[in-house]
């Protein structure tokens, strides 16, 4: 029978070697381990909002309830007067309501007290959760109350909504414009704080120059921001927008349509030729054939009109005079 080989003394020594313990307990080693375990912190404009919510990332449902929250009747809350979001899609709202009905609201709603009414609160961030909670027929909702000025309330409401990916381009642009008009922000500053390019901010702001009817099509999702940008410099964006929607044109096709429309506007002679009746065009061809020169007739009904004959050389002009004199 084979004998068991004894454990090697070097192996035992290695496992319990004092240098190993010393290395593990060295302050540099502990510092390196703490660096590896340290979680990353969010950055960007949302840091102000996160700080108010005790430095947690914003979410509709969170695994634990924050300290400092309390339950209040759902009717004690009122919408934010500064809410930039004008469209709340039914399907996502219903999905959120179903989730809240099953799990409850774990992420408190940020509010501020209403002046003169200690039992009422104005929502700063979390209006979607509040609306979904009403659909879910909840009677109580968790809140975090903070004393905020009107300026702070407006700025936080804009920031919270601007950072949401499902905010419509028009609502996002309106939020940018309010930051510029009411807080003196610049496009560069807005771009930096929300983590997007300056061109993104500038392109969205240009959408606000479109007619309200076209902006509404964008809000409803009938037109994308790319479609809408193609219409900014056109003379009749509403009509072109309807064509884009009815024909289901891509952004590239919409840009081509807009270019063709602008070219037709800049070339009235081409536009006039397309409006001539068949008899006028037939007469032009007949006279041009007889004279051997290019000719156009601009007939204006009872007001008369004009005939334009084009020649390329003096020989052609002499030949024309001779024919007209004979």
CA angle 215/218/222 to nearest 5° reads 135
**Residue 127 catalytic?**
yes
Those residues whose C-beta lies under 8 Å from the C-beta of residue 137, and which sit 6 or more positions away, are 101
- Report residue 143: phi and psi, to 5°: -135, 155
Helix (H) / strand (E) containing 96: helix 90-103
CA angle 177/178/179 to nearest 5° reads 90
* Closest among 142, 158, 160 to 150, alpha carbons compared: 158
* 3-state SS assignment for residue 108: coil
Question: 140-145 and 117-125: which strand pairing?
Answer: unpaired
Those residues whose C-beta lies under 8 Å from the C-beta of residue 200, and which sit 6 or more positions away, are 191
- Greatest CA span in the chain, whole angstroms? 138
> By the 8 A CB rule, do 161 and 127 touch?
no
Catalytic residue among 122, 127, 155, 172: 127
> By the 8 A CB rule, do 59 and 98 touch?
no
What are the residue numbers of the active site?
127
């Amino acid at each position: 029978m084979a004998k068991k080989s004894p454990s090697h003394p070097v192996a035992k020594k290695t496992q319990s070697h004092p240098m190993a313990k010393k290395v593990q307990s060295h302050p540099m080693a502990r510092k390196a381990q703490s660096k590896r375990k340290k979680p990353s912190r969010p950055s960007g404009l949302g840091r102000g909002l996160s700080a108010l919510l005790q430095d947690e990332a914003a979410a509709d449902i969170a695994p634990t309830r924050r300290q400092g929250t309390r339950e209040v009747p759902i009717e004690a809350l009122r919408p934010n007067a500064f809410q930039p979001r004008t469209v709340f899609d039914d399907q996502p709202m219903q999905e959120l309501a179903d989730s809240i009905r099953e799990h409850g609201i774990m992420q408190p709603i940020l509010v501020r007290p209403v002046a003169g009414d200690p039992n009422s609160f104005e929502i700063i961030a979390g209006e979607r959760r509040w609306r979904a909670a009403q659909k879910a027929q909840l009677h109580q909702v968790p809140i975090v109350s903070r004393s905020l000025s009107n300026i702070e309330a407006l700025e936080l409401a804009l920031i919270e909504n601007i950072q949401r990916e499902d905010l419509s381009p028009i609502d996002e642009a309106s939020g940018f414009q309010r930051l510029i008009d009411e807080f003196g922000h610049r496009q560069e500053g807005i771009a930096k704080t929300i983590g997007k390019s300056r061109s993104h901010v500038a392109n969205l702001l240009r959408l606000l120059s479109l007619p309200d009817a076209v902006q509404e099509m964008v809000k409803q999702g009938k037109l994308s921001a790319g479609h809408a940008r193609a219409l900014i410099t056109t003379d009749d964006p509403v009509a072109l927008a309807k064509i884009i929607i009815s024909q289901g044109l891509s952004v590239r096709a919409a840009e081509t349509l807009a270019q063709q429309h602008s070219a037709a506007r800049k070339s009235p002679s081409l536009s006039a030729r397309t409006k001539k009746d068949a008899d006028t065009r037939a007469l032009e061809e007949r006279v041009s054939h007889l004279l051997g020169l290019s000719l156009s007739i601009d007939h204006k009904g009872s007001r008369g009109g004009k005939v334009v004959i084009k020649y390329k050389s003096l020989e052609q002009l002499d030949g024309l005079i001779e024919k007209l004199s004979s």
